[in-house]
Homo-oligomer: A and B are copies of this chain.
């Protein structure tokens, strides 16, 4: 194994440390500080291990994990785009593609191509693995919003119809998980944490 290869691998691993300082619009359940992308990615991996049985179709769990470990790395350069920021979403994919070139490009070429293919698959949301990964990626912030009494939803003027419109594609990957999340969201509406309209 060449020492140049392992040096490139370490350079990529070191660069990834920055993901711990890209903050999201969700709050942690305890301290209520904003969550960062690295924590979010870890929590999604845990959700895969626990909830894989609820995928609409059987999935390659390793590939789902691989997608979720790397899915937000592009945000080191492109920043986090809020799920309800329709303006930011216009050029989001273009910005993230440029970031993917640079960040995955730190790896040895064979791994750069492999990681890019996994990220492209996640983004395209066509395979069962990508649909299941996307389902968890949508349900996770909903769950944190519910557990923090909808504080961030209210700050951003988010309503129940917006939550449903933005997240219901989760049902394409894991209908049972989406149904459970919907039950919790309806409770949040009943509790006055999310406006019904």
Contacts and interface: CB of A to CB of B under 8 A. Distances in A.
A51 B9 contact: yes
What is the interface of chain A mostly: helix, strand, loop, or mixed?
helix
Interface in A16-60: 16-21, 28-31, 35-36, 38-39, 41-43, 45-47, 49-51, 53-54
A111 to B, nearest CB: 7
Nearest to A107: B50
Integer count of this chain's copies in the complex: 2
Chain A contact patch, size range: 35 or more
A115 B20 CA distance: 26
A82 interface: no
Contact of A18 (B3, B30, B69, B143): B30
Interface in A49-87: 49-51, 53-54, 61-62, 65-66, 69-70
5 contacts: A6-B54, A6-B177, A12-B50, A39-B42, A50-B111
Given A16-B43, A42-B42, 18 more contacts: A6-B180, A9-B50, A10-B180, A14-B29, A17-B30, A17-B147, A20-B35, A20-B39, A36-B39, A38-B39, A38-B42, A38-B43, A45-B45, A45-B69, A49-B115, A50-B111, A62-B65, A65-B65
